[in-house]
């Protein structure tokens, strides 16, 4: 009985090309049409795992964790200095859904920096901010501004401890004038003291005390309009 041989069905060539184009696991550098490129791990054609992304237009680099195409986990973001052409770190810390979230450190121009908690890309929670003039704020943040309870220490070591709202002193607080040896305790609103009591505090150790001490039998109470 004769044997009939049927021709083997051939798979369209584009099927093979499509399989090769699927990105899953560790891959070499993959370039986008706009010049951006990524080197690292993939899952179902999405950046997933460890990887480094370079944006051609800005020259920025992110190196760290990815989850389904977005920065998620721990990673650092750096930009290229236009003068030195060297990379300088902008943020290092935790990310979620492509935004800063969790604990991280942000480096600003003028050597300012923030170390603390983030939420949805904004400073929120507890954090410490180092300002260019030497001042340091440590305390609670809300939507990228001091909000809640916190302490601001000035370059001359004077400090404020108390409530904050929208980045301004607000509510009960104490201002320590350590250079003069005095303490003001009162209520603040929109960065201005409204009422309070001024007493001597550490006057003997103050570098520039007032000429006369405040009488101990009297506490000066001030009201501000």
14: pLDDT confidence band, cut at 50, 70 and 90? very low
Half-sphere exposure of 214 (CA within 13 A, CB side): 17
Question: What is the rounded distance in angstroms from the CA atom of residue 224 to the CA atom of residue 12?
Answer: 84
Q: Does the reported pTM lie above 0.85?
A: no
Who wins on pLDDT, 210 or 144?
A: 144
Which residues on adjacent β-strands are paired with residue 62?
A: 53, 77
Question: What is the rounded distance in angstroms from the CA atom of residue 73 to the CA atom of residue 113?
Answer: 21
Which residues on adjacent β-strands are paired with residue 75?
A: 64, 93
Which residues on adjacent β-strands are paired with residue 4?
A: none
User: How far apart, in Å, do the first and last CA atoms of the chain sit?
Assistant: 114
Per-residue model confidence as pLDDT tens digits over 77-116: 999 988 888 899 999 999 999 999 999 999 999 899 999 9
């Amino acid at each position: 009985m004769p044997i009939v041989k049927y021709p083997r069905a051939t798979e369209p060539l584009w099927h093979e090309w499509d399989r090769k184009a699927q990105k899953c696991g560790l891959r070499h550098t993959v370039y986008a049409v706009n010049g951006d490129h990524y080197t690292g791990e993939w899952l179902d054609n999405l950046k997933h795992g460890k990887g480094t992304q370079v944006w051609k237009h800005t020259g920025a680099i992110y190196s760290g964790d990815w989850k389904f195409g977005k920065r998620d986990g721990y990673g650092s973001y750096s930009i290229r200095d236009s003068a030195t052409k060297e990379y300088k770190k902008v943020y290092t810390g935790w990310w979620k859904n492509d935004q800063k979230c969790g604990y991280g450190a942000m480096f600003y121009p003028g050597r300012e920096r923030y170390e603390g908690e983030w939420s949805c890309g904004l400073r929120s929670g507890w954090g410490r901010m180092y300002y260019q003039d030497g001042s340091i704020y440590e305390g609670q943040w809300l939507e990228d501004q001091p909000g809640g309870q916190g302490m601001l220490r000035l370059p001359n070591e004077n400090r404020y401890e108390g409530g904050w709202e929208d980045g301004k002193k607000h509510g009960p607080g104490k201002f320590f004038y350590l250079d003069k040896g005095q303490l003001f305790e009162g209520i603040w609103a929109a960065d201005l003291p409204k009422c309070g009591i001024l007493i001597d505090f550490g006057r003997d150790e103050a570098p520039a005390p007032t000429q006369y001490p405040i009488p101990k039998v009297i506490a000066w109470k001030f009201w501000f309009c």
